[in-house]
């Protein structure tokens, strides 16, 4: 797809992967809007990236999602790309101290339901454009989960499956649907964990290259190796990923 002159919305765009992608796409002559909950980070992002628009929104709230969509429909009628990037990861042990319903619901809401709802609410607007895209940032953990974040892994598997099914439904429309499986990226979420991380900037660069090449399912970095291993020896892939990277 063409990667210039779009109006792009990135959830969780004030830091990490979202911020790196916002910077990359802004440099490519796109109008970029980021949303997040941390007003301080949003202000910093807007100050450091010329032309960036930063909006405060808790996408885990249906009320705030509806307000966001109303604002976009009114002020940004040319919106053509949605990047569902926001996510949280809760480490939990169901065998010893099961998480509360509130904790489980919040993780599912932000990682999965928010993406599904934003897709649904913004599709009428995106379908009015000549070319549009729905981009879902999933994870290699959707291929093989790790033991200490079962809900997170399940939401990422659900997000990838949803993206593929949605792609089937929209294949005869201007809206392209992408599923991006991220490796271990050096962000606040992965601080102090794992080796061999890639930078948010490297991830953003590879994602943009995949968009330009219409790679509807992207396995970035080590997720390509994990996918190949899972096809050849799934038991080994599960053992490797069990304790995380």
Average pLDDT by stretches of 10, the chain with 245 residues: 96 95 97 96 95 97 98 98 96 92 97 98 97 97 95 98 98 97 82 73 96 97 95 95 78
Q: What are phi and psi of 12, to 5 degrees?
A: 60, 40
pLDDT given for residue 234 in this prediction: 95
Going from the C-alpha of 8 to that of each of 76, 108, 126, 207, the distances in angstroms are 10, 24, 11, 14
Q: Which residues make Cβ contacts (< 8 Å) with residue 5, sequence separation at least 6?
A: 29, 30
pLDDT given for residue 225 in this prediction: 95
Domains of the chain (ranges; CATH) run: 7-242 (3.40.50.720)
* Nearest-angstrom CA–CA distance, 158 and 138: 9
Does residue 152 have an active-site annotation?
Answer: yes
Instruction: Render pLDDT for 53-112 as a digit per residue (tens, 0 to 9).
Output: 999 999 999 999 999 999 999 999 999 999 999 999 999 999 998 999 999 999 999 999
Nearest residue to 241 (alpha-carbon basis) of 91, 16, 229, 136: 229
Taking a C-beta distance cutoff of 8 angstroms, is the pair 206, 213 a contact? no
pLDDT given for residue 118 in this prediction: 98
Q: Which residues make Cβ contacts (< 8 Å) with residue 78, sequence separation at least 6?
A: 7, 31, 129
pLDDT given for residue 197 in this prediction: 81
pLDDT given for residue 9 in this prediction: 98
Task: List the catalytic residue out of 76, 152, 168, 216.
Answer: 152
Burial (0-12, 13-18, 19+ Cβ within 10 Å), 26? middle
pLDDT given for residue 186 in this prediction: 84
CA–chain centroid gap for 243, Å, is: 23
Name the pTM for this structure.
0.94
- N- to C-terminal Cα separation, the chain: 33
């Amino acid at each position: 797809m063409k990667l210039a002159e779009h109006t792009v919305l990135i959830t969780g765009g004030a830091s990490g992967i979202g911020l790196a992608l916002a910077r990359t796409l802004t440099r490519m002559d796109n109008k970029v809007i980021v949303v997040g909950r941390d007003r301080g980070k949003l202000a910093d992002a807007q100050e450091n990236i010329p032309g960036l628009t930063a909006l405060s929104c808790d996408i885990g709230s249906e009320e705030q999602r509806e307000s966001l969509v109303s604002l976009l429909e009114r002020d940004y009628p040319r919106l053509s790309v949605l990047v569902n990037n926001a996510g949280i990861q809760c480490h939990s042990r169901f065998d010893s101290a099961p998480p509360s319903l509130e904790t489980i619901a919040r993780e599912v809401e932000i990682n999965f339901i928010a993406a599904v709802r934003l897709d649904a609410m913004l599709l009428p607007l995106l379908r009015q454009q000549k070319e549009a895209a729905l981009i879902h940032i999933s994870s290699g953990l959707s291929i093989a989960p790790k033991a200490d974040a079962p809900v997170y892994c399940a939401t990422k598997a659900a997000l990838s499956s949803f993206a593929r099914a949605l792609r089937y439904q929209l294949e005869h429309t201007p809206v392209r649907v992408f599923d991006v499986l991220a490796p271990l990226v050096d962000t606040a979420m992965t601080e102090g964990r794992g080796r061999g991380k890639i930078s948010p900037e490297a991830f953003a660069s590879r994602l943009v290259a995949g968009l330009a090449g219409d790679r509807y399912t992207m396995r970035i970095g080590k997720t390509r190796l994990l996918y190949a291993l899972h096809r050849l020896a799934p038991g080994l892939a599960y053992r490797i990923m069990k304790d995380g990277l």
